[in-house]
Structure 1
């Protein structure tokens, strides 16, 4: 007979179960959160009150919102905003990848140049940068190539920065590249160092390792913040008025409101278009993240809904063996 453990008293005492005998299933009762539900109800009521009140206010000019929401000028400006976003992000992603690889390069000159670029473009406001790009054609009317203080070899009229659309794309892309480089660098550093060591063992060069091994694995980390940057770029295009470029969504809506003296309805129109584009981008980001997360091991295995196995495991563990003192041989 096994002596009774004096530390176990009353309901805390549990008799050992024989091997193979099932324990009693534990009934899990979910925790109730009355204050959380009350807060949710209050927030929903506040939102409903705001919507009802806004729908009745004439200052919002809902009639003008319906009039201009599908105006041809607004639709064309929305297309220009999308073009600015896509072209600028292409420049930013490509250049950001190059800068990130330069910062991780063993060459100190490349690392210093990349660090200087990021320091300048990330440390100054994008609006100020766009102003400088807008007057670049005045500062450098002619692009010359040659040795300083001598006769230039080649003189090219600066016709690139006279095109305000191209200037806006360049300005937005170069600024965004400084942020994308840090995102890409974080993704590259997230890849295990053993991958690089294995690549070197296969006689792969540093460039081949980055191209075929490190960068593809880093995409799983790079994609989510890149989606946020694309959405941010879509809204940053409203700052191209600093160049000045006024054919984007915000510029056209502001121009119409200046003529019709209805600034609030046109701001609502522009906001609705921005919300439409950002919603589409968020859906696309979700599916891209899902695509790159396949095989990453982040999906959790299905858990059992009951704890019946806990009692069985405990019973098998606590069952005495013939080698224990007082056990049955």
Structure 2
């Protein structure tokens, strides 16, 4: 025992601390590794509420479609693949395909004229687009249907001079020709703006770089401008193509029995089947537009190469990835 007045410190065993380590002896449990810490995900109650509401609404709509006797699904199944309906569907496909090709070709020519340095070509192209975007399609079709009243015959020859070959307009302009011409003229006006917008979306530096390399203008357009412009043109023109498929229903007014025309004709003959016949036409239009949308997706994915770091997953790849993630979560839950 030390003497009175001895100021030496107590031994370390009594105080629980080290002379060289000033930290307290009881520092609590050491933190575990980062992998052992639980991560609490952020809650989104609004998202779950919206999901439940949407599912309930979809369930109500599906239940109403299935249980409502006025839809007459047995009659729908009877008419869906009838030869008369399929004949109208083939006419719709034929008119759509021809009008899409001619409309796109006319739109490309009009867009190039609009972008040319000739003021006459610019004015004519602008006037065409302005006129045919202003006139309703049904008015244009009816005007072409009665075109023979204005010009009974058409001819080829010297302008303001003699005519060498003459055609009877009534024999030349059949119902399908009127439909294709009317839809093509209307489609070209909208396609011209789609193509022009796509070309203008290409950065000006691309044009300048191609010109600096001394590349011919045709090569510049074909290999540099067009591939980049198509990324903007494809989704917009597919929108127009889907609208064109639905616009073919108007050719019924020029006596061409397409899909909608056949349904209308059958509805007049069988008035009790009007609703199932309309559902037949609706389902076929949905199928056609869905096929176009699928083609659009893969075309856009192809032209996206080089503009994105990683290609987006296809629906099948997304499904496989989702199934794999679900299996992993189930396996992780079983291990716990």
- TM-score, normalised by the number of residues in structure 1: 0.77
Distance in 1 (CA, whole Å) between partners of 2:132 and 2:171 is: 21
* Structure 1 unmatched ranges of 5 or more: 1-22, 302-329
Query: Is residue 2:228 matched to residue 1:233?
Result: no
- 1:92–1:173 Cα contact (<8 Å) kept: yes
* Structure 2 unmatched ranges of 5 or more: 1-32, 313-336
Give the equivalent residue in structure 1 for 2:129: 118
Give the equivalent residue in structure 2 for 1:132: 143
- Which of residues 241, 256, 262 is equivalent to 1:245? 256
- 1:134–1:242 Cα contact (<8 Å) kept: no
Name the Cα RMSD after superposition: 2.4
State the shift of 1:198 in Å: 2.9
Larger Rg: 2
Distance in 2 (CA, whole Å) between partners of 1:274 and 1:28 is: 48
Distance in 2 (CA, whole Å) between partners of 1:298 and 1:230 is: 30
State the shift of 1:285 in Å: 0.7
Distance in 2 (CA, whole Å) between partners of 1:300 and 1:279 is: 22
- 1:187–1:221 Cα contact (<8 Å) kept: yes
Aligned partner of residue 294 in structure 1, secondary structure: coil
Give the equivalent residue in structure 1 for 2:328: none
- Which of residues 206, 209, 213 is equivalent to 2:224? 213
* Structure 2 counterparts to residues 251-270 of structure 1, below 5 A: 251-261=261-271, 262-270=273-281
Give the equivalent residue in structure 1 for 2:298: 287
Distance in 2 (CA, whole Å) between partners of 1:255 and 1:298 is: 53
Equivalent pairs counted in the alignment come to 277
**Which of 1 and 2 has higher RCO (CA within 8 Å, sep 6+)?**
1
Query: Is residue 2:169 matched to residue 1:158?
Result: yes
| Per-residue CA distance 1:49-102 (angstroms, 9 max, x = gap) | 232233222222222101101111111211211111111110111111111111
State the shift of 1:160 in Å: 6.5
- Which of residues 87, 95, 101 is equivalent to 2:106? 95
Query: Is residue 2:57 matched to residue 1:46?
Result: yes
Give the equivalent residue in structure 1 for 2:43: 32
Give the equivalent residue in structure 2 for 1:272: 283
- TM-score, normalised by the number of residues in structure 2: 0.76
Q: Give the number of the structure whose residues are more often helix, by fraction.
A: 2
- 2:153–2:169 Cα contact (<8 Å) kept: yes
